[in-house]
C-alpha cells in the first residue's frame, strides 16, 4: 500500500498522523511552516510562554477524549468558571454559583446584572446540558445575538458579559456567529473547564509529535497543489499583548472582561495564575487581548497605550515590562459550514491517487479545536472504509 500523504501539521493533520502511526500504517506528514501545531503556537521568551493569541483548551470537547485517554491532558489546569466584569477601575466577579460558591453570588450587586439574567443563565445551562453537541448544529441561521435576545437576557447583561466573553471566542464583536457555535461552546464550558497545559498551548501538538516517527515528518515543505478542502476565504483576526508583571493584579484564575463597552481591550488574563510555568519564578504573565476590530498588523494601539487602558480597567498600576505582541491575521475562518463535524472523506479527493491524500490545511466544519480533531479522525476512518 503506498504511503498516505498528509498536508498540514495543525491539530487536524497531527491527529490523523497519530492514528495512522498507532495503526502502523505508512504516512508522510508535510507542513509548509517551520513549526508543528498550526494555530496552536507558543513563543518562549525570558522564561515566559507566550501563546499566539489568547487560547484555551475546552476539556469537555468530545473530540478531546482522544487525548484525555492518552493522558495528554492529565496535567491541564483550569481557569475559574466565570469572569471578572471590569469597568472604570471596578471589578465584579460573575462566577458559576454552582462551582464557585459563594463567590458566584457577588454578581448580583452589579448594575448590569438582573436577577432574571442569573435565572436565564441557569436555565440555559440546564437546557443545553441535556442536549448532544451534534443537535446544536441544526439551529438554522439565527445569530448568537438574536438567540441571546430570544432567551430573554437583558441588553445590559449582553453588553457587559456575553459580548466581551464571546468576542474573545468568536473573534467578532457583533455576535453574528451562528448560535449553534454559541450553544456548543456554552455547553462545553458548562460541562467542562477552560484549560491550559504546562508550557503553553503548543504543548498539545508537541505531545503528539513526540509520538510520531521523525522520519515521516517534514517541516518547511513548500505548499503543494491546491487543496481538495474548500479553503476558507475570510478570517477573523486577533492580537495579544504580553507583559511581565509582579503580581496577578487581583485577577487570579479568572478572565477579566472589558465590560465598559469602549476602548481597544477585549479581555485580560493571567495564564501563570492557572499554570505557573507560563512565567518564571516570582513573576506573572499578563495577557491582554484586544478587540478583533483593532487586531490588525497596522493597529494604532501601542503596548504603552494598551498598558494604560489595562490600568484604567483594573484600577491599579501595572508594574512590569512589555514582552511581546502577536497578531494572528487568519485566526478563525469566518465562512465555514458551521456543521458539527466533517463528513467521512472531507479533505480527500475523488481520484485513486487522491484517496491517499489528506489536505488538513484548516478546519472546514466549524472554527474549533473539536472540529479540527474530528477532521483528522474522519480521514483515518475513511481509509478504513476503503
Ligand atoms: C488565537 C486563537 C484562539 C482560538 N481559540 C479557540 C478556542 O478557544 N476554542 C477552540 O475550539 N478553538 C479555538 N481556536 C481555533 C483552533 O485553534 C483551530 O480551529 C484549530 O487549531 C485548527 O486546526 P487545523 O489543523 O484545522 O488548522 P491549522 O491549525 O490552521 O493547521 C493547518 C496547517 O496546515 C498548514 N498548511 C497550509 N497549507 C498547506 C499545504 N499546502 N501543505 C502543507 N501544509 C499546509 C498550515 O501551515 C498549518 O500549520 C483558536 C485559534 C486561535 C488562532
Quick: pLDDT tens for 113-161: 888 998 899 899 999 999 999 999 986 789 999 999 999 999 999 999 9
Grid cell 454559541 is found at: 182
Check: CB of residue 384 under 8 Å from CB of residue 355. no
Ligand 1 center to 332 CA (angstroms): 8
- Average pLDDT for residues 49-64, to the nearest whole number? 98
Helix (H, G, I), strand (E, B) or coil at 295: coil
Alpha helices in 245-364 (DSSP H): 271-274, 303-314
Which of 8, 218, 326 has most ligand 1 atoms within 8 Å of its beta carbon, as the pocket-test mutant?
8
Ligand 1 center to 11 CA (angstroms): 7
Nearest CA to ligand 1 atom 34: 8
Domains of the chain: 4-41+202-232+336-384 (3.50.50.60), 42-201+234-332 (3.90.660.50)
What is the rounded average pLDDT for all residues in the chain?
A: 91
**Does residue 381 carry a pLDDT above 50?**
yes
CA distance 352 to 354: 5
When pLDDT is cut at 50, 70 and 90, the band that residue 362 belongs to is confident
Grid coordinates of 58: 475546552
Ligand 1 center to 8 CA (angstroms): 9
Query: Ranked by mean pLDDT, which of 91-100, 149-158, 215-224 comes out on top?
Result: 149-158
CA distance 283 to 269: 14
- Average pLDDT for residues 239-256, to the nearest whole number? 97
Q: Considering the chain, what percentage of its residues have pLDDT values greater than 70?
A: 89
Ligand 1 center to 360 CA (angstroms): 9
Query: For residue 212, how many C-alpha atoms fall within 13 Å in the half-sphere facing its CB?
Result: 25
pTM for the whole thing? 0.94
**Does residue 379 carry a pLDDT above 50?**
yes
Q: Lowest-pLDDT range, 291-295, 310-314, 373-377?
A: 291-295
Grid coordinates of 333: 475562518
Nearest CA to ligand 1 atom 41: 223
Burial class (CB in 10 A: 0-12, 13-18, 19+), 28: middle
Tell me how long the chain is.
386
Check: CB of residue 166 under 8 Å from CB of residue 147. no
pLDDT of residue 271: 98
CA distance 365 to 342: 5
Ligand 1 center to 204 CA (angstroms): 13
Ligand 1 center to 144 CA (angstroms): 23
The residues, any chain, with a CB within 8 Å of residue 313's CB and separated by 6 or more, are 86, 87, 88, 89, 256, 258, 260, 263, 265, 268
290 ligand 1 Cβ < 6 A: no
329 ligand 1 Cβ < 6 A: no
205 ligand 1 Cβ < 6 A: no
When pLDDT is cut at 50, 70 and 90, the band that residue 5 belongs to is very high
CA distance 327 to 219: 22
pLDDT of residue 210: 98
Ligand 1 center to 37 CA (angstroms): 7
How many angstroms from the chain centroid is the CA of residue 71?
20
When pLDDT is cut at 50, 70 and 90, the band that residue 341 belongs to is confident
CA distance 288 to 7: 33
Ligand 1 center to 286 CA (angstroms): 24
- Average pLDDT for residues 78-101, to the nearest whole number? 87
62 ligand 1 Cβ < 6 A: no
Which of 6, 10, 230, 376 has most ligand 1 atoms within 8 Å of its beta carbon, as the pocket-test mutant?
10
Atom of ligand 1 nearest to the CA of 14: 25
Q: Lowest-pLDDT range, 44-48, 100-104, 271-275?
A: 100-104
When pLDDT is cut at 50, 70 and 90, the band that residue 337 belongs to is confident
**Does residue 355 carry a pLDDT above 90?**
no
31 ligand 1 Cβ < 6 A: yes
Q: Considering only residues 98 and 252, tell me which one the structure prediction assigns the higher pLDDT.
A: 252
CA distance 385 to 64: 23
Check: CB of residue 289 under 8 Å from CB of residue 50. no
pLDDT of residue 225: 57
**Does residue 261 carry a pLDDT above 90?**
no
**Does residue 350 carry a pLDDT above 50?**
no
Q: Considering only residues 306 and 383, tell me which one the structure prediction assigns the higher pLDDT.
A: 306
pLDDT of residue 112: 78
Amino acid at each position: 500500500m503506498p504511503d498516505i500523504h498528509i498536508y498540514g501539521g495543525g491539530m487536524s493533520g497531527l491527529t490523523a498522523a497519530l492514528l495512522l502511526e498507532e495503526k502502523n500504517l505508512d504516512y508522510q506528514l508535510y507542513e509548509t511552516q517551520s513549526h508543528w501545531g498550526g494555530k496552536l503556537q507558543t513563543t518562549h521568551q525570558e522564561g515566559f510562554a507566550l501563546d499566539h493569541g489568547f487560547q484555551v483548551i475546552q476539556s469537555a470537547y468530545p473530540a478531546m477524549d482522544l487525548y484525555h485517554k492518552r493522558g495528554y491532558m492529565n496535567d491541564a489546569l483550569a481557569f475559574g468558571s466565570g469572569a471578572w466584569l471590569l469597568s472604570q477601575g471596578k471589578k465584579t466577579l460573575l462566577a458559576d454559583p454552582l462551582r464557585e460558591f459563594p463567590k458566584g453570588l457577588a454578581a448580583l450587586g452589579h448594575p448590569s446584572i438582573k436577577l432574571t439574567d442569573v435565572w436565564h443563565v441557569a436555565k440555559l445551562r440546564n437546557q443545553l446540558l441535556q442536549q448532544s453537541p451534534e443537535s446544536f448544529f441544526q439551529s438554522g441561521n439565527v445569530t448568537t445575538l438574536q438567540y441571546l435576545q430570544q432567551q430573554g437576557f437583558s441588553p445590559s447583561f449582553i453588553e457587559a458579559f456575553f459580548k466581551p466573553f464571546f468576542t474573545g471566542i468568536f473573534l467578532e464583536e457583533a455576535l453574528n456567529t451562528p448560535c449553534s457555535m454559541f450553544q456548543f461552546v456554552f455547553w462545553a464550558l458548562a460541562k467542562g473547564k477552560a484549560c491550559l497545559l504546562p508550557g503553553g498551548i503548543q504543548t498539545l501538538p508537541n505531545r503528539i509529535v513526540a509520538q510520531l516517527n521523525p522520519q515521516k515528518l517534514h517541516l518547511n515543505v513548500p505548499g503543494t497543489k491546491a487543496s481538495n478542502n474548500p479553503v476558507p476565504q475570510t478570517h477573523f483576526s486577533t492580537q495579544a499583548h504580553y507583559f511581565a508583571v509582579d503580581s496577578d493584579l487581583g485577577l487570579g484564575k479568572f478572565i477579566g472582561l472589558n465590560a465598559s463597552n469602549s476602548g481597544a481591550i477585549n479581555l485580560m488574563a493571567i495564564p501563570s495564575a492557572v499554570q505557573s510555568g507560563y512565567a518564571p519564578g516570582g513573576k506573572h504573565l499578563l495577557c491582554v487581548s484586544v478587540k478583533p476590530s483593532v487586531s490588525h498588523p497596522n493597529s494604532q494601539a501601542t503596548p504603552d497605550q494598551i498598558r494604560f487602558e489595562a490600568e484604567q480597567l483594573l484600577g491599579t498600576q501595572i508594574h512590569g515590562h512589555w514582552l511581546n505582541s502577536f497578531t494572528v491575521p487568519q485566526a478563525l475562518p469566518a465562512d465555514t459550514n458551521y456543521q458539527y463535524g466533517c463528513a467521512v472523506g472531507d479533505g480527500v479527493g475523488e481520484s485513486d491517487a487522491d484517496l491517499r491524500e489528506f489536505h488538513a490545511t484548516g478546519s472546514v466544519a466549524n472554527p474549533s479545536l473539536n472540529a479540527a480533531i474530528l477532521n483528522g479522525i474522519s480521514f483515518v476512518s475513511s481509509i478504513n472504509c476503503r
